[in-house]
Every structure is written in structure tokens, then in C-alpha cells.
Amino acid sequence: MAYTPIDKGENFFNSKLYTGTGSSNAQTGIGFQPDWVWLKCRSSAKHNNLYDVVRGATKEIYSNLTNAEDTDAQSLKSFNSDGFTVGTGADQNENNATYVAWNWKAGTSFTNDASGTGIGSVDSTGSVNQTSGFSIMSWTGTGANATVAHGLGATPKMMIFKVRDGATAWVVYHKNVGPTKGLFLNTAGTGSTVSAYFQDTNPTSSVFSVGSDADTNGSSKSMITYCFAEKQGYSKFGVYAGNNSSTGGFHYTGFKPAFIIIKRTDSAADWRTYDDKRFRAGGPNNKFNYLQANGDNGEADSDSGGAWDMLSNGFKFYTSDAAINGGGTYIYMAFAENPFVASNFNAATAR
């Protein structure tokens, strides 16, 4: 049983659907001040826009591009106590366009003076939530082997790296891929085996390791890293083998998922993003439409991209779609709507 002290996943992660107005547009009802907001237009082709409190409002980076960070006063204008406000930017708030925002809570300021604490070799600052296993770390690259404190107090299972002030790839570490290889969030490719990404070294409960590669540790570059530790009943970073069958397969997470990213690792395939708000009736539960982290495409129909269900304790496919259930290997990142068994010992139910 996946008992967890986190009774409600929505206290730490929540999705928000909204319709653009073309003028200043405050979004509420998230349930907390979001510290990392990932915005994507559903109805047309627009970039994936990512914002966080460490870099500050109006500063955007794009998961589908290698571009350096932009500052746009009309993008995400503020992080609010129960949501955020977007301006007139088309990527965030075009009149009558539809959007989804994925929101994570960090919330506790973090500072590490490496020379003073003896933890890591590079100073880092950020925002962290040890309960949910999420931190946002800002630090300056060295261009040489280094270690950086992440503040989680637990070992990260997935990390996402981006240079803020340069055009570089988004490099992803995932525990089931290992420290010898980096995946690229901005492409459908299979990634690269490069020891200079992570020094061929897994992260620890206090630090992550980076090598000399410019994408993960550019000399004198401003770096941002999103770190995730696994928390039973709330988050899961796993791997599965696709069975290339329309009957699909069940994959256990220990909770009802609210958000999942899936990536095939043995051949090229898009990073598919799904959430519990963008669904339509059909099948035993629902069919979940998808977006692409590495593309600007609008939302795609789950029938053409793989019908599947989010269940009380995992997810199940009804498709042989090569991007999520072909005869290959897949990694995923999932966050809970509800745990399978919460602290009150009540079981969650499927939708």
C-alpha cells in the first residue's frame, strides 16, 4: 500500500485551464502560490513557456527551444497567493485561445554558501519544498567538474537543466537512464551519452554533480535546475517497457495521476504531456489529450495519439502508439491527484 503523509496532491501540484482575454488576466483557484508555472496554449501552435519565482516574473524560457531566457513584461506578470496574472502576450493570453498552466509549489527560500557549509563546490540559491520533493536551484556555471547543493534532503530522481543566458539544449537527468546519458527536453531525440554532463555520477541527498559540458555547466553562465525527489503516494519517476498492443498495459504509481510526462528513450519520440483536466469521456474512465514539451503544436486528440486511463493507483494504455506504448523503453514523471492510500487510510478512487 502506498501510504503517504501527503493527503492531497493539489496542495503541491495543480493544473489550471483558462481562456485568453487579450488583456490582463488573473488566474485563481490553484490553491497556493505557484513557484514554477509551465504554460501552454491548447488551441493553436505556440511555445511552451516556463516561469519560476527564483528567476522572477516576466522571465520566460521555452522547453521546445534552445533560446536564452527572455524578459517580456506582458507574459506572466506576477505570482499571486492563489495563482498568477498574465498580460497581453499571445503565447500566454491571446483573446479566446485556450490554455493550460501546470503549477508546482516550492516556497521555502534556500541559500548555500559552499565554502561555509562544506556542501558542494558551487554556491546555490533557490526555492525548495522538502515535503513534496521539489526545488528550483539557481547557480553560476564553472565549465569544470562541480557539485551543487539542491536543498531537497533526499536524492533527486529527475533533474532538468537550462542555461539562462545562452542558446543551449535542455538536458534532463532521469534515474532510470542514469548519469552517463542526458536526454534533451527540447527535441524528440534519444539524447547523448556524455560524461561531461553529470560526471557519470548520480546525485546524492545533498548535491548533484555536473561536468564541463556547456549545456549543464557553462563557464560563468547563469544556470537554472529543477530537481525532483520521489515521494511515496505523490510523485513517481519510473520506467516501463511498451508492449505494442492495443490492449496496452497497466503501470503502477501508487496514486491517481494528475500529471504525467512520458518519453521513449530507445528511439526518437516526442515528450508527451498529459494532465487530469484535459480529458473527454470515453473508455472505462477517460481519454486524455496530449501536448508536446518539445514542440509548439496545439493539443492533439487522444484517439490519434493513444487513448488511455488514469486510475486510482496508476495508468493504463489502450493503444500501440509508438510514442507511449510501442515495443520500446519509456521513462515517465508523474504527480498525484490523490494517493492510493492516504494518511487516513482511505483509498482514492478512479475518475
Reply yes or no on whether the pLDDT at 350 is more than 50.
no
Q: How confident is the model at residue 204 (pLDDT cuts 50, 70, 90)?
A: very high
How much is the pLDDT for 188? 98
Interval 201-211 mean pLDDT? 98
Q: Do 101 and 80 form a contact (C-beta atoms < 8 A)?
A: no
How much is the pLDDT for 282? 55
Does residue 120 come out as left (phi exceeding 0), alpha (psi in the -120 to 50 range) or beta? left
Q: Do 6 and 234 form a contact (C-beta atoms < 8 A)?
A: yes
Reply yes or no on whether the pLDDT at 2 is more than 50.
no
Interval 328-344 mean pLDDT? 80
Q: Name the one residue in this structure whose C-alpha cell is 520506467.
A: 239
- H/E stretch holding 193: strand 192-193
How much is the pLDDT for 343? 54
Q: Name the one residue in this structure whose C-alpha cell is 548535491.
A: 207
More confident residue, 207 or 348: 207
Q: Do 237 and 175 form a contact (C-beta atoms < 8 A)?
A: yes
How much is the pLDDT for 318? 82
Q: How confident is the model at residue 226 (pLDDT cuts 50, 70, 90)?
A: very high
Percent of the chain with pLDDT over 70: 91
More confident residue, 68 or 349: 68
d(CA 29, CA 323): 33
Q: Do 293 and 331 form a contact (C-beta atoms < 8 A)?
A: no
Lowest mean pLDDT: which of 173-177, 202-206, 250-254, 276-280?
Answer: 276-280
How much is the pLDDT for 152? 98
How much is the pLDDT for 309? 83
How much is the pLDDT for 1? 45
Q: Give 272-328 pLDDT, tens digit per residue.
A: 999 999 876 555 555 678 999 999 999 987 555 456 788 889 998 888 889 999 999
Q: 116: Cβ–Cβ under 8 A, 6 or more apart, which residues?
A: none
d(CA 3, CA 223): 36
Q: How confident is the model at residue 127 (pLDDT cuts 50, 70, 90)?
A: very high
* The three grid cell numbers given for residue 203, joined into one nine-digit string: 546525485
Q: 91: Cβ–Cβ under 8 A, 6 or more apart, which residues?
A: 39, 41, 46, 47, 49, 75
How much is the pLDDT for 310? 85
Output the CA torsion sign for 152, 154, 157, 161.
positive
Q: Give 93-120 pLDDT, tens digit per residue.
A: 999 999 999 999 999 999 999 999 999 9
d(CA 216, CA 140): 11
Lowest mean pLDDT: which of 24-33, 87-96, 142-151, 276-285?
Answer: 276-285
283-287, 327-331, 340-344 — which one is most confidently predicted on average? Answer: 327-331
Mean pLDDT of the chain: 92
Give the Cα-Cα-Cα angle 225, 229, 233 (nearest 5 degrees): 140
Reply yes or no on whether the pLDDT at 24 is more than 60.
yes
Task: Tell me the pTM.
Answer: 0.94
How much is the pLDDT for 341? 54
d(CA 178, CA 182): 8
Reply yes or no on whether the pLDDT at 211 is more than 50.
yes
* The three grid cell numbers given for residue 72, joined into one nine-digit string: 517580456
Interval 13-20 mean pLDDT? 98
